[in-house]
A and B are shown apart, each in its own frame.
Chain A
Amino acid sequence: MSEISTVDPSAAVMDLKRRDARDKLTGRTRYTMDRAGAGMLHAAVLRSPLAAGRIRRLDTSRAAALTGVHAIVTADDAPGLVGIGIADHPLFARDVVRYIGEPLAAVAAERPEDAAAALAAIEIEIEPLPAVITMADALAEGAQLVHPGWQDYEVLFEGGRREGNVAWEATAIRGDVDAAFARPDAVIVENTFRVGRQNHLAFEPRAVVAHYEDGRFHIETSTQVPWTVRNATARVLGVPASEVRVTVPPVGGGFGLKFDMAIEPFAALLARASGRTVRLVNSREEEMLTCLCRENAEIRIRSAVTRAGEILGREAVVLMDCGAYGGEQIFLTTMTAHTLGGNYRVGASRLVSRAIYTHTAPNGAFRACNGVYNTFALERHTDEIAQAIGMDPLAFRYRNVLGDGDLGATGQRYEGEVLRPMLERMDTLRGIPTAATRMADGRLYGRATTVGTWFVFTGPSAATVNMNADGSATLVTSGVEIGSGSMMTGLPQIVAATLGIRPEDVVVRQADTDAAGFDVGVGGGRTTVSLGAASLAAAGEVRGKLLRVAADMLDADPEHLTIREGRIEVAGSNGPGLSIAEVASRAQTLLGPIAGTGGFTSKGTPAMSGCAAGHFIDALDIPVFAVHDCEVAVDPDTGHVEMLAYRVVQDVGRALNPRAILGQIQGGVVQGMGYALQEEVTIGSEGNILQTGFETYRVPLAPDVVPVEVSLYEGAPSLGPLGIKGAGEVPILNVGASVACAVANAIGRPVHELPLTPPHVAALMLGRRSAPVLPHIAGRWTDNLVKKA
């Protein structure tokens, strides 16, 4: 049955054009924020002006009586708590407020100005409470607890240690670290690092249009995770999940921002209360103040190495600011073991990752979450190790990068020799490095090569393929097109290759939780992998059915049939054949329409038992590696860093659509460049985010960027369908690391913080700034752990 069960992967490889480009170029695409309907109401949300306080009074009666106001909802309307790992997050602040911008009430009115007037008319008194704004505040002796009732929350995932402002703690311990550090030949290198938050600045803000029809909610929303929105909305509203339907129009940028429920329940509640369609679109300022940013983090890392360059032992403490609620950071504590614990072969290691509550806006997921700063810390630390033992940093990496059979931090055994040949590939791409340190124009030149370890976030996905009698196929999934093109190219390519039709003839159904089965969401590099595997399985079932019907029609053995270019033929030259439409049509008449379903989930790659505690993923199903090389020029007078060249060797397994991948790499590197050099989120002493829009939050512009030189590395082992790996998330992974290492090399001083804005770099050169002092990370690693009761 080889023809029936296997697909020639090369049939799926092509630079397929995106089907959504034309409408996007002509302004016809209707994103959620563009959707309007007759009789639609406009919603707005009242937000807390204080970071911490007790709600003494919230009176909506005067606001409700205003002209044009149709509904007002508050905490009384939304009883449930949601969260990842711990259910700690109410929809509206209840009794207390925990961050500036926390929702207190939502209104729906005829016109936006009526809604704004209603917000202004809600009477509210909040008694200020002491706030913990920084992680140092939160971990101080006797600190105010962000959640005094933390012990009462429902635990949704067992295993993480928690206490007070430590929302979650995950540890990965392998081998005898004390013995490694005690070795007489060990050189000890220790560093501290700190990074700020990064705002996704997705162009489409979070936006939702909600309807309440036939006793069910229909939510159209700009999300990456329709099923999470369905289930979480149901939970906070206290209704069965089956009463919530989520559909997703084209999404105007996600990058992880939309990997969680957002403002959907407000609109849903208001739609139910008013009996009207309700639209809610965040203002840019709301997006800035309540963005689920990439979290700020503080890191201490310490390694024991021999003079010959062997890494004997490593320990690290990573503090991740989750803001007022645990959210994604609870999950992301997992990733330290695989990112900071990745890249290199290490004798023994112990890593602790702690999500810390503060009275600031909650953080969330952002492209290569956790990985970007842990890779920054690890790679800068690696350069300092190389310097300490007098070894060339590239030679040190060649010696130590993970290879076939090496152990990761949780005891996972890596397969295949991948990073070392990728380093060689980079040597070819880059050529022999220049030794120059000062350029003709007086600027300081620096260069660096870094490595990175990432993964594909597998997990459940479902797909259905309906074979239509006209020879086209319809692919039904809960996958969302967020801009990467995976739903427009990769998935139809897989289905088309399986069915022997053109990708243009695969209709891709827009995500609808009423039509397609469960899906974890679009993100984590999983779209083409998980949805792709489900789609491959579904299409494979259709293919088998088609071939069996065709075999009957052609009086041939199904195994002797070929299926390609829209036809099923008996193998061999001039064999008789039929068009796929003929076969599908015949099948429909004889047996009913042909369809296939497919499912996929994580494989659960094993870790070493007893290594990992509090981890949501003990080992990586599909590791992904990256090697980056960066050249910079630094202005010694002003601290401006110019990127001169950037090169990427990326492990893609198999490149299904090379052109699309190259587009993702260019975009991801530039987003990482913003993180490394420009994008700064400052939290004021009151807990307010100071950057409120595009003027102050500076992302890279066309004059700032360079074309990235790319080499796609194919052939590394992958569990993904047709041997693919996710390619859209990883390009950002080691940009912060590469830029920081290159800048450090240029200025001859170590770099321990990001972003490297001109004032920051100038301060480093002037000696006004040194490594961050982190007294809230204890010197003895074990003193950082929550004590077992």
Chain B
Amino acid sequence: MTLRLTINGRESLAPDDPMTPLVDLLRERFHLTGAKPVCREGFCGACLVMIDGEPTLSCLTPGGLAEGRDIRTIEGLSPAGRLNPVQNALEAHDAVQCGMCFPGMVMTLTHALRRNAAPSREELRHALTGNTCRCTGYERILDAALSAAGALQGGEP
């Protein structure tokens, strides 16, 4: 069977079974390896992608259920290497270490700051409950996100 997926605005065909997790389709079929299958149980957040604008666990989403929806991966969030305000702030705050969790972190924070232009540090902490980071101890990620607050209002990154 063939799945018809819209990934980063491009129609893509995958000759795969519909229960195949989206994260595996993205990585193995389309070589979009930004999303990471780290825990495969919805706790780490490293596989988050936007589906119809909502951060979605691509490890728990069957490819068949992503058909006809707008899938945006980390690669599509910053076309031509342009960073969005969250990515910019994370770079400027020297927040990145091993980097594996950041594609998911960027998804969650981008969404959180679109929803709320002036979140508190505590609100951001709780927004990150499903994004585990093993390297940084989180505080710089929060510093960066707070500094980017307000820059994401009004649509696309």
Interface of A toward B, CB cutoff 8 Å: 15, 17-18, 20-22, 24-31, 33-34, 36, 200-204, 250-255, 284, 482-485, 659-660, 663, 666-671, 693-695, 699-703, 705-708
Contact = CB atoms under 8 A, between A and B. Distances in A.
A707 B122 CA distance: 13
Contacts of A251: 98
Contacts of A18: 94, 96
Contact of A708 (B74, B75, B98, B137): B137
A708 B139 CA distance: 9
Contacts of A708: 137, 139
13 contacts: A15-B94, A21-B95, A203-B134, A204-B100, A255-B134, A284-B39, A660-B94, A671-B134, A702-B128, A702-B141, A705-B139, A707-B139, A708-B139
Dominant SS at the B interface? loop
Given A20-B99, A699-B134, A666 B43 contact: no
Interface in B21-74: 27-28, 31-36, 38-41, 43-44, 46, 73-74
Contacts of B34: 26-28
Nearest to B83: A25
Interface string B107-122: 0000000000000000
Given A203-B101, A284-B40, A694-B43, A28 B28 contact: no
A252 B99 contact: yes
Contact of A203 (B28, B36, B138): B36
Nearest to B28: A36
B19 to A, nearest CB: 12
Given A34-B33, A702-B128, A24 B102 contact: yes
B129 interface: yes
A682 B152 CA distance: 44
Contacts of A27: 32-35, 73-75, 103
A663 B133 CA distance: 13
A202 B106 CA distance: 19
Given A27-B35, A27-B75, A663-B140, A202 B94 contact: no
B132 A701 contact: yes
A255 B75 CA distance: 28
A26 B96 contact: no
Contact of B137 (A17, A204, A670): A670
Given A202-B134, A203-B36, A702 B142 contact: yes
B153 interface: no
Given A21-B91, A203-B36, 8 more contacts: A21-B94, A21-B99, A24-B96, A25-B90, A203-B98, A250-B98, A693-B40, A699-B134
Nearest to B24: A112
Contact of A702 (B44, B77, B129): B129
Nearest to A485: B97
A485 B96 CA distance: 9
A26 B97 contact: no
B91 A253 contact: no
Contacts of B142: 702
Nearest to B131: A702
A22 B94 contact: no
A284 B134 CA distance: 15
B81 interface: yes
B99 A667 contact: no
Contact of A252 (B74, B94, B98): B98
A54 B86 CA distance: 56
A701 B76 CA distance: 27
A693 B102 contact: no
Contact of A25 (B44, B106, B139): B106
A483 B132 contact: no
A44 B28 CA distance: 17
Given A26-B87, A255-B134, A701-B128, A694 B41 contact: yes
Contact of B41 (A667, A693, A706): A693
Contacts of A21: 90-91, 94-96, 99
A719 B28 CA distance: 48
B136 A204 contact: no
Contacts of A703: 125-126, 128-129
Nearest to A707: B139
Nearest to B35: A27
A311 B106 CA distance: 53
A252 B98 CA distance: 5
B135 A667 contact: yes
B12 interface: no
Contacts of B138: 666, 670, 700-702, 705
B84 to A, nearest CB: 9
B135 A669 contact: no
A474 B46 CA distance: 33
Among B103, B133, B142: residue with most chain A CB under 10 A: B133
A24 B81 CA distance: 11
Nearest to A17: B94
B83 A24 contact: no
B99 A483 contact: yes
Contacts of B46: 203
A666 B97 CA distance: 12
Contact of B136 (A254, A284, A659, A667): A667
Contact of B81 (A22, A255, A667, A702): A22
Contacts of B33: 27, 30-31, 34
B75 A28 contact: yes
A21 B73 CA distance: 18
A701 B98 contact: no
B73 to A, nearest CB: 7
What 10 A-B pairs are tightest by C-beta distance, nearest first?
A27-B34, A483-B98, A24-B99, A670-B137, A27-B74, A203-B100, A34-B33, A694-B43, A666-B137, A702-B128
Nearest to B89: A25
Among B90, B101, B124, B132: residue with most chain A CB under 10 A: B132
Among A21, A485, A699, A706: residue with most chain B CB under 10 A: A21
A127 B34 CA distance: 45
Contact of A253 (B77, B95, B128, B134): B134
A25 B94 contact: no
A400 B101 CA distance: 43
Contact of B134 (A17, A31, A201, A484): A201
A543 B52 CA distance: 56
